[in-house]
Structure 1
């Protein structure tokens, strides 16, 4: 009687008591549908094992690493193949033979531009442009870091000096060409000055951001130990600003190459750079040589950008890489 009452109450509650028999039900083998029987435990164990196996299999599937050679090399090669295909299509399908000089095929650029008699002159001009770009970058680095340090020490200094950095970034170089020519002549010094103007702002802004992004708790800790400004700058702010500083330096390195080439167009006295050769080939309508010199200048910019990116990873380390922080 007690068993029947207990089973009836369990059924009314919406669940059956394990091992109980309802009225009128014949006893038989347990089907394992209950929550506490041996069959239920076996099914639960099997389901857990299957889920664990599936999760392990999913985790063990190989993934393409963002830093792997297949992604870092294969991706640019695929894009390069697409660009060459579009280039050939425009040269041989879109353009008529009489107008093909506007965009010669890539193999024509290589054979007539790089492998002709103009290659030594291109390499000499590229060397001079590299010297101008690196000289301007070095000067911009020194000025930019000192400028950012001065602004990071006091709020009033940042409010007073940072607007002028923005002004230098916004003024067109063409508007300053006459003044630069009057002040520095039309040779090497004027080209370096153009590089400094173009490459200065990324260094100033990134260095200032790095110096101001120090954890306030660490600042309070240094203040608690009565550390002076020079100690805080040398042991706390400067190490914290290195990642942002090198990011700005990498951007400024590419811009310095642009500044050196732009300076060649306006200041043509002295030894010619790659920009002067580009202007000369344009005036002579020498399309293969023109495209070859443009490609050479582009390769210089990419090489400088990658070189400073490698330098930043060697000096600072990979701990600041955004991909490693995910």
Structure 2
């Protein structure tokens, strides 16, 4: 496929839709909203001027974004370690799966905002509480997808390993884990985005310690600073998209073409 054909097929539709969104944005700002209410949806060029072209504002936003990124990465690493351990234990012993899985579902079903006061009582209002929020939000997809992947190995392959008297560790390392890689990376992509959401939610509610992007969103919202608010939201969205793309690239790198990752 030529470069031009690839551009038309994969890139141009996104550009066209982006232009459409900008047109709708301008229409709402200048046609549907009165000038006195335009702060509710400031036009895109004002967002650029006040949020990205102003060095002082941009530096503050990037610093707060970096703080939230660190929290999200730490939370994702912790939830990955916990999730892998639980999923492996559940895949090896059905009794553990039956005992733990209902509680994992219950934890996922609890609104995280209902746990925020409890988390603040236990861990304070600093970075630790934000990391806990990230872990709680991003843990379930890793457990579910990893468990599904570990259990997806073909029965015939298991029979072959049984025939060669393979122990649990060999079966897990050479059969179940390779078969689980596509599902594992699917879960990591979901959890990475949720970890970013958790970091922003934690910043929003735990307003002490190092300033994160969620705290800037809260501040700009209270000040009715529409341009800066949208700039902060755009940067938050860009962070979520970036981590999703990173894990998509890692999936192609480690899984390769031998598995269908659709």
Same fold (TM over 0.5): yes
Q: Does 2:256 match 1:317?
A: yes
Q: Which residue of 1 aligns with 2:160?
A: 221
Q: Which residue of 2 aligns with 1:280?
A: 219
Name the Cα RMSD after superposition.
1.6
Q: Does 2:253 match 1:305?
A: no
Aligned positions of 1:94-173 closer than 5 A: 94-116=32-54, 117-173=56-112
Aligned to 2:258, the other structure's residue is in SS state: helix
Q: Residue 213 of structure 2 contacts residue 236 of structure 2 at CA under 8 Å; is this kept in 1? A: yes
Q: Which residue of 2 aligns with 1:233?
A: 172
Cα shift readout 1:213-263 (whole Å, capped 9, x = no counterpart): 110000011001111001100110011101100010011001100000000
Q: Residue 87 of structure 2 contacts residue 144 of structure 2 at CA under 8 Å; is this kept in 1? A: yes
Q: CA deviation at 1:283?
A: 0.6
* Alpha-carbon distance between aligned partners in 2 of 1:91 and 1:205, rounded to the nearest angstrom: 43
Q: CA deviation at 1:322?
A: 4.8
The structure with the largest alpha-carbon Rg is 1
Aligned to 1:270, the other structure's residue is in SS state: coil
Cα shift readout 1:160-198 (whole Å, capped 9, x = no counterpart): 111111111101111111211111111000000000000
Instruction: Count the aligned residue pairs.
Output: 260
Q: 1:283 to 1:185 in 2, by over 3 A?
A: same
Q: 1:322 to 1:241 in 2, by over 3 A?
A: closer
Q: Residue 217 of structure 2 contacts residue 233 of structure 2 at CA under 8 Å; is this kept in 1? A: yes
* Alpha-carbon distance between aligned partners in 2 of 1:237 and 1:205, rounded to the nearest angstrom: 15
Structure 1: segments with no counterpart, 5+ residues: 1-62
**TM-score relative to the length of structure 1:** 0.77
Q: Does 2:15 match 1:77?
A: yes
Structure 2: segments with no counterpart, 5+ residues: none
* Alpha-carbon distance between aligned partners in 2 of 1:221 and 1:298, rounded to the nearest angstrom: 47
Q: Match for 2:137 among 198, 206, 210?
A: 198
Aligned to 1:320, the other structure's residue is in SS state: coil
Q: Which residue of 2 aligns with 1:92?
A: 30
Q: CA deviation at 1:64?
A: 10
* Alpha-carbon distance between aligned partners in 1 of 2:252 and 2:122, rounded to the nearest angstrom: 39
Q: Which has the higher helix share?
A: 2
Q: Match for 2:190 among 235, 251, 257?
A: 251
Cα shift readout 1:198-218 (whole Å, capped 9, x = no counterpart): 000110000000000110000
Q: Match for 2:115 among 176, 186, 196?
A: 176
* Alpha-carbon distance between aligned partners in 2 of 1:319 and 1:198, rounded to the nearest angstrom: 31
Cα shift readout 1:20-55 (whole Å, capped 9, x = no counterpart): xxxxxxxxxxxxxxxxxxxxxxxxxxxxxxxxxxxx
Aligned to 1:318, the other structure's residue is in SS state: coil
Q: Which has the higher contact order (CA 8 A, sep 6+)?
A: 2
Q: Residue 182 of structure 2 contacts residue 261 of structure 2 at CA under 8 Å; is this kept in 1? A: no
Q: Which residue of 1 aligns with 2:202?
A: 263
Q: Which residue of 2 aligns with 1:60?
A: none
Q: Does 2:235 match 1:296?
A: yes
Aligned to 1:314, the other structure's residue is in SS state: helix
